[in-house]
Amino acid sequence: MATNSPSVFLLMVNGQIEGAHFPEYDDLYCKYCFVYGHDWAPTSGLEEGISQITSKGRQSSHKLIWNFPLEITFKSTNPSGWPQIVVSVYGPDTFGNDVVRGYGATHIPFTPGQHTRTIPMFVPESTSRLQKFTSWLLGRRPEYTDPKVVAQGEGRDVTRVCSQGFVTLSFNIVTKDMRKLGYETMPSEPGNTLQVKCPPNSFRVLRVG
| Digitized pLDDT (tens) for each residue of the chain, 209 residues in all | 445 778 899 999 999 999 999 988 999 999 999 999 999 999 999 999 999 999 987 666 678 999 999 999 999 998 889 999 999 999 998 878 888 999 999 999 988 999 999 999 999 876 666 656 565 555 566 778 888 888 886 555 556 778 889 999 999 999 999 888 878 776 555 455 566 665 555 555 555 65
**Cα→Cα distances 128→94, 133, 152, 158, Å:** 21, 9, 26, 14
Q: What does pTM read for this prediction? A: 0.84
Is-contact 117 158, C-beta < 8 A? Answer: no
- Write the DSSP symbol of residue 4: P
| H or E element that contains 87 | strand 84-92
Q: Which CATH number fits domain 9-181: 2.60.40.150, 3.40.640.10, 2.60.120.260, 3.30.70.260?
A: 2.60.40.150
Q: What is the distance between the alpha carbons of residues 29 and 105, in angstroms, rounded to a whole number?
A: 16
**What's the length of the chain?**
209
